[in-house]
A and B are shown apart, each in its own frame.
Chain A
Amino acid sequence: MSRFFATRAGVWSGFGAAALVLFGAAPLLLSGFRLGLLAQFLCYAIVAVGIGLAWGRGGMLTLGQGVFFGMGAYLMAMHMKMADAEFRNGHGAVPDFMELAGIRELPAYWVPFASPVFTIAMILVLPTGFAVLLGFAVFKRRVKGAYFAILSQALAGAFAILLIGQQSMGGFNGLSRFRYFFGYNLDDAVNQQMLYFIAAGVLLVVVAVALQLRRSRYGELLVAVRDAEERVRFLGYDAANIKVVAYAAAALFAAVAGAIFVPVVGIISPASIGIVPSIMFILGVAIGGRASLVGPVVGALAVAWAQTALSEQFPSAWTYAQGLLFIVVIALLPGGIASVAALTKRFQAKSATVEAAA
């Protein structure tokens, strides 16, 4: 089965099936509320694809993807708040939360975010550029393993704390109560469905990009760096450059996910981007199978769905279930859900040889 999906026909049918489910079955079967939840989960899945690339293939345990997710989200939220204020009180108006906080003058760095084009460009460039700079600083110094993980996690914590202190960025409460997404009214169910379709489409694109990166010569090189970085260096490659590409791609995916998350969910606050959400991203990827292409997507969706379902039934049970799930996967299934197929195959082969011997 896995061999079929390695062929060209297999890849196309895989994408076809996914598109059928995301664009056909889901909108037909799910209520507007459930579809909105799924759109939110798809945003997590987009982040997960990037983590799968950086961590699963590149060996970089990116414990701080909340930073890039948050950057994308806040950039989008700034534009939406500006657009709402402009719609209400005309050009150059101060967003509502600033008025409440007593800020009368629009801060200079908010002004260009009135432009949708500028905002989208920033979402694509700013987090990725930050990841490139950070990546060069860290990987050129050969910081790796646990040190890299701690560093990236600390960054997520620091970023959340920084935002809490910024009244002009909404502080602890973050940015919320959006009315329009590039001119589309967010109260309209049709527009909510459009957001879901955007999230689903972006997920498919991101998976396709990740697939190409994995199958290319670069993808082989990335695995080589993960398994024997020093050896790669002695072959004449600058290993830091190779890692930066995967790290930046993961940052870009997270930023785009954050930007879609904001209109879908309607709020972004430091609580959604700090250490705990960053670990949640990792958890989904670990459970799904970090080294596989589809594993992180499945894991992210499963964890988010389980969290919602369990919290609806037993509000306090999720934390325990989450811990248990993590222990079970790490102890019994280190390759994640994606490795179940390979394990059953090996088990069948083993029992077959036992039978043959007997």
Chain B
Amino acid sequence: MTTALTCTNIHVDFDGFKAVNGVDLTLDRGEVHFLIGPNGAGKTTLVDAVTGLAKYSGSVVKDGVELRGKKVHHIARRGIGRTFQTATVFEQLTVAQNLDIAAGAGRSPWSLLRRRTVLPDNVVAVLEQIGLAGQAQTPAGILAHGQKQWLEIGMLLVGDADVLLLDEPIAGMGHEERDTTGRLLHEIAETRAVAVVEHDMDFMRAFASRVTVLHAGAVLASGSVDEVSNDPRVQEVYLGASHEQEAIDAATA
């Protein structure tokens, strides 16, 4: 198990509002690392910072290379892939075309100007892995919601990302799809570092190798599922709040 990504003392400041306030985070290969926390805790902002979308102070190092100040597409080429809360695929293009584009960031201009004759091997393999081999020629726009999210993950895999930052990858999925996704994440994480921003506590308990809880832009706790759920501070700000909410729901029901 090797460290893939190290974030040190990350601060993100939106006109005086400290969205992320001194976060340290380490992502290891072989782990599915969950980032949880209430709304506004800074989870997505942290992902934005690492991928070059939000300006920050501090340091993000991947395999010995500092990423701060690099452009979005340069960071992506360093093997850092991300998905978005709403699945973003190229709806007018087929599943195969989506994956082919994702696999081709290093292509020469000359090969870009020619037609694709056969699908690259890694695209075929990933089509199988994400369970969309039968839909290779389907326009991505008419895929089911869950399938779009799998396609998005597949696009990171063919692009050789080895740090995957997934923003709510199971939003809107049914039970079976969630389990499939969870198993897929562990399969992917065998050789890569996977971070998952998630609200779903059941999914987190079932599939997290490690959990980091963010609150108000800072790390509240970090550790295994059990360590984190037994942390009284976490129960207070996060799980406690939801228990209270459940109590209120039960009372009003």
Among A212, A217, A231, A237, the residue within 8 A (CB) of B100 is: A217
A227 at the interface (CB under 8 A from B): yes
Among B77, B84, B115, B159, the residue within 8 A (CB) of A215 is: B115
A234 at the interface (CB under 8 A from B): yes
Enumerate chain B interface residues (CB-CB to A < 8 A). Answer: 51, 71-73, 76-77, 81-82, 84, 88-93, 97-98, 100-102, 104-107, 111-116, 155, 159
- Interface contact A224-B93, CB-CB below 8 Å: yes
**For the complex, what is the distance from the CA of A220 to the CA of B97, rounded to whole Å?**
7
- Interface contact B90-A218, CB-CB below 8 Å: no
- Interface contact B73-A230, CB-CB below 8 Å: no
Chain B hits for A220, CB < 8 A: 93, 97, 100-101, 116
Chain A hits for B101, CB < 8 A: 217, 220-221, 224, 232, 235
**For the complex, what is the distance from the CA of A216 to the CA of B107, rounded to whole Å?**
13
Among A216, A230, A233, A235, the residue within 8 A (CB) of B102 is: A235
**For the complex, what is the distance from the CA of A228 to the CA of B111, rounded to whole Å?**
22
Can you show 21 pairs from A to B with CB atoms below 8 A apart? A212-B113, A216-B113, A216-B114, A217-B101, A217-B112, A218-B113, A220-B100, A221-B104, A221-B112, A228-B88, A228-B89, A230-B88, A231-B89, A232-B101, A233-B73, A233-B76, A234-B72, A234-B81, A235-B81, A236-B105, A236-B106
- Interface contact A235-B114, CB-CB below 8 Å: no
Chain B hits for A234, CB < 8 A: 51, 72-73, 76, 81-82
Chain A hits for B102, CB < 8 A: 235
**For the complex, what is the distance from the CA of A235 to the CA of B77, rounded to whole Å?**
7
Chain A hits for B93, CB < 8 A: 220, 223-224
Of B77, B81, B101, B111, most buried by chain A (CB within 10 Å of CB) is B101
Check A236/B77 contact, CB under 8 A, given A220-B97, A224-B101.
yes
Closest-by-CB residue of A relative to B104 is: A217
Closest-by-CB residue of B relative to A213 is: B113
- Interface contact A237-B116, CB-CB below 8 Å: no
Extra pairs beyond A234-B76, A235-B102 (4, CB < 8 Å): A221-B101, A231-B84, A235-B81, A237-B105
**Interface size on A (CB < 8 Å)?**
22
A238 at the interface (CB under 8 A from B): yes
- Interface contact B90-A231, CB-CB below 8 Å: yes
Of B71, B89, B90, B114, most buried by chain A (CB within 10 Å of CB) is B90
Closest-by-CB residue of B relative to A232 is: B101
Chain B hits for A213, CB < 8 A: 113
**For the complex, what is the distance from the CA of A224 to the CA of B90, rounded to whole Å?**
6
Chain A hits for B88, CB < 8 A: 228, 230-231
Chain A hits for B111, CB < 8 A: 217
Closest-by-CB residue of B relative to A218 is: B112
- Interface contact B97-A235, CB-CB below 8 Å: no
Chain B hits for A233, CB < 8 A: 72-73, 76
Enumerate chain A interface residues (CB-CB to B < 8 A). Answer: 212-213, 215-218, 220-221, 223-224, 227-228, 230-239
10 smallest beta-carbon distances between A and B, as pairs: A236-B105, A236-B76, A236-B77, A218-B112, A224-B90, A231-B88, A233-B72, A217-B112, A216-B113, A238-B73
- Interface contact B155-A235, CB-CB below 8 Å: yes
Among A223, A236, A237, the residue within 8 A (CB) of B92 is: A223
Of B72, B106, B114, most buried by chain A (CB within 10 Å of CB) is B72
Among A217, A228, A236, the residue within 8 A (CB) of B90 is: A228
Chain B hits for A232, CB < 8 A: 101
**For the complex, what is the distance from the CA of A71 to the CA of B89, rounded to whole Å?**
39
How distant is B24 from chain A, measured CB to nearest CB, in Å? 24
Closest-by-CB residue of A relative to B112 is: A218
How distant is A212 from chain B, measured CB to nearest CB, in Å? 7
Chain B hits for A212, CB < 8 A: 113
Among B90, B100, B115, the residue within 8 A (CB) of A227 is: B90
Closest-by-CB residue of A relative to B72 is: A233
**For the complex, what is the distance from the CA of A227 to the CA of B91, rounded to whole Å?**
8
- Interface contact A227-B92, CB-CB below 8 Å: yes
Closest-by-CB residue of A relative to B83 is: A234
- Interface contact B159-A235, CB-CB below 8 Å: yes
**For the complex, what is the distance from the CA of A224 to the CA of B93, rounded to whole Å?**
8
How distant is A244 from chain B, measured CB to nearest CB, in Å? 12
Chain B hits for A239, CB < 8 A: 73
How distant is A182 from chain B, measured CB to nearest CB, in Å? 31
Chain B hits for A235, CB < 8 A: 73, 76, 81, 101-102, 105, 155, 159
Check A217/B73 contact, CB under 8 A, given A223-B90, A223-B93, A235-B155.
no
Chain A hits for B105, CB < 8 A: 235-237
- Interface contact A236-B159, CB-CB below 8 Å: yes
Closest-by-CB residue of A relative to B80 is: A234
